Amino acid sequence: MKDVYLFSGFLGSGKTTLLKTMISQMKDKGLKPAVFMNELGQMNMDSDAVEEGIPLKEILDGCICCSGSEKSEAQIQTLLAEEDFDVLLIETTGAAHPVEALDAIFSPLFAEQLNFKGIVTVADSKRWMDRNSLSPQIRSLFLEQIRHADLLLANKMDLLTEGQQATVVYEIQSLNPKAQIIQTIHAKIPFSALEKLSPLQNEEVVKAPVSKLNLNAKVLKFEAPVRRELFEEWLRALPDTVFRIKGYVPLEGDKYPHAFQFAYGMAQWLPEYMKMQNQIVIIGEGLEGVELP
C-alpha cells in the first residue's frame, strides 16, 4: 500500500512550498515520492517545483474534484502502473473543495493500493485575518478547506505580529478543533508530522454547500517587455478580488523573462528563465476588465 496525502489550501497559501519541503525530506529518508497536481489556468509553473526524476502527473485547467474525478482516476492509475514510488502527494488547486478531491482517491480501483493518510491544509494566516473582505462564496471555500483538515499549517507567520499570531492560531483551531495546528514560515514542518496522521476510518464527511464559485483564470500574454515600475504600479491598482498571479514577465533591459508570483498583495520576483512563454495566469473573481499595462 502506498500512503497518500492531500494538500489543500487557498490560492497562494503555500501548498507548492510545502510540496517541495516534503519531497526533499522524503528523499533524505530514502522514500520515493510521486506527485499529482492540478491547476486553474492553462499553464503550470508549479510543476517546475518538482525535481526531475520524480513521477508527476498533472491536470491543467480542470479540477481533481467533481467532474474531473474520472480524469484524475486515469492519471493515478497510470502512475500506479508505470512508476515506482512509495508515497503519493496530491496538490489540489486552491479553488478546490478538499473533500470533493477525495473522490478519485477513494475509487474502488485503488482500494488495495492506496492508503489515504489525511488532508493537510495550508492556511494563509494573513488572509485569515482579512477573511471578512472575501466574497461569501470564496470565504466559504477558504473556511471549508480549514474545517476538513487533518493537519493544519498556520503559514506565513512571518507576516504577523506576535499578538496576531496567537489570535490567528486560536481562531483557526476553534474552527477545526480536531486537527493538529502547526505555526509555520514557508510551510516548514518535519515529514514526521505527516507520517503521524491517521484519519478516523469511515468518519462521515459532512460538507457544507459551497455555492458556485465565480473564480476564473485568465492568461495574459505580453507583446513586448514592460518596465518593472509600470508593472508594479499595475499590480497595486488591481482589484483585491485578484487572488493569485503566476507566470513569466519580460522586463525591459533583461534578456529572458522573470518567473513571477503574486499572492495576497505580495509580489515575488524570481530569476530569469530561458525559453519561457511571456505570459501570466491571473486567478480571481471578476477579471473581465483586467488587461496588461
Ligand X SMILES: Nc1nc2c(ncn2[C@@H]2O[C@H](COP(=O)(O)OP(=O)(O)OP(=O)(O)O)[C@@H](O)[C@H]2O)c(=O)[nH]1
Residues that bind ligand X (CB under 6 A): 9, 11-17, 46, 94, 155-156, 158-159, 185-187, 244, 261, 263, 268
Q: DSSP character for 8?
A: E
Question: What are the grid coordinates assigned to 82, written together?
Answer: 508505470
Judged by beta carbon, residue 60 or residue 292, the one nearer ligand X is 60
DSSP 57-114: EEEESS-SSGGGHHHHHHHHHHHHHH---SEEEEE--TTS-TTTTHHHHT-GGGTTTE
**Could you tell me the smallest distance in angstroms from the CB atom of residue 18 to ligand X?**
7
**Could you tell me the smallest distance in angstroms from the CB atom of residue 258 to ligand X?**
13
**Could you tell me the smallest distance in angstroms from the CB atom of residue 113 to ligand X?**
27
Say how far apart CA 206 and CA 117 lie, in whole Å: 18
**Could you tell me the smallest distance in angstroms from the CB atom of residue 34 to ligand X?**
18
**Could you tell me the smallest distance in angstroms from the CB atom of residue 36 to ligand X?**
13
**Could you tell me the smallest distance in angstroms from the CB atom of residue 213 to ligand X?**
14
Judged by beta carbon, residue 110 or residue 118, the one nearer ligand X is 118
Please report how many Cα atoms fall inside a 13 Å half-sphere around the Cα of residue 77, on the Cβ side: 10
Judged by beta carbon, residue 214 or residue 268, the one nearer ligand X is 268
Burial of 188 (0-12, 13-18, 19+ CB in 10 A): middle
Judged by beta carbon, residue 94 or residue 247, the one nearer ligand X is 94
Judged by beta carbon, residue 109 or residue 267, the one nearer ligand X is 267
Judged by beta carbon, residue 12 or residue 33, the one nearer ligand X is 12
Find the DSSP H helices in the chain.
15-28, 69-82, 102-105, 125-129, 136-147, 162-175, 191-195, 228-236
Region of residue 40 (phi > 0: left; psi between -120 and 50: alpha; otherwise: beta) = beta
Q: Yes or no: say if 245 and 282 are a contact pair by the CB < 8 Å rule.
A: yes
> Which element (helix H / strand E) includes 251?
none
Alpha-carbon torsion, ordered 131, 132, 133, 135, to 10 deg: 90
Instruction: From 147, 153, 205, 152, select the one nearest 176 (Cα to Cα).
Output: 147
**Could you tell me the smallest distance in angstroms from the CB atom of residue 29 to ligand X?**
22
**Could you tell me the smallest distance in angstroms from the CB atom of residue 217 to ligand X?**
10
Judged by beta carbon, residue 5 or residue 110, the one nearer ligand X is 5
> Which element (helix H / strand E) includes 46?
none
Judged by beta carbon, residue 12 or residue 118, the one nearer ligand X is 12
